[in-house]
């Protein structure tokens, strides 16, 4: 794509595209993982449920990227990736714990059938 084609494409956009950089890649992956963890919402919509498997996959991709680029990043790029991974791992654990707590509360709020009620129901079926 020529420079003129690129400029023409940019004119129709409400905002310019950022340059392709390692910083932008890291930020994109971090934001993607935050959305998958259900930490971001747009406008007045309800908080989306977390997709823990997909979030874990994105975090693992970032960890692989960190391993494969070790020694080839500037100090700033390295810090950004490390900080993003630390933050996402912490948030992942928080969301997992919160999800378990909500699931436990939901399971506990379902009325468990008491042995007396089960016996009474069995007696009524015999009659």
- SS3 string, 82-111, reads HHHHHHHHHHHHHHHHHHHHHHHHHHHHCC
Who has greater pLDDT, 17 or 119? 17
Distance between alpha carbon 25 and the CA centroid of its chain, in Å?
16
CA distances from 55 to 22, 24, 52, 115 (A): 20, 18, 5, 42
d(CA 36, CA 60): 13
Q: For 71-90, what is each residue's pLDDT tens digit?
A: 999 999 999 999 999 999 99
Confidence of residue 46 (pLDDT cuts 50, 70, 90): confident
Top mean pLDDT of 39-53, 78-92, 107-121 is at 78-92
């Amino acid at each position: 794509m020529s420079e003129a084609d690129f400029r023409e494409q940019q004119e129709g956009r409400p905002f310019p595209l950022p340059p392709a950089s390692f910083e932008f890649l890291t930020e994109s992956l971090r934001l993607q993982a935050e959305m998958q963890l259900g930490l971001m919402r747009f406008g007045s919509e309800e908080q989306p449920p977390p997709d823990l498997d997909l979030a874990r996959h994105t975090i693992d991709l970032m960890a692989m990227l960190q391993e494969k680029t070790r020694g080839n990043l500037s100090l700033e790029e390295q810090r950004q990736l490390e900080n993003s991974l630390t933050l996402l791992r912490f948030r992942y654990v928080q969301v997992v714990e919160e999800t378990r707590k909500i699931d436990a509360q939901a399971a506990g709020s379902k009325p468990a059938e008491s042995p007396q009620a089960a016996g009474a129901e069995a007696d009524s079926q015999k009659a």
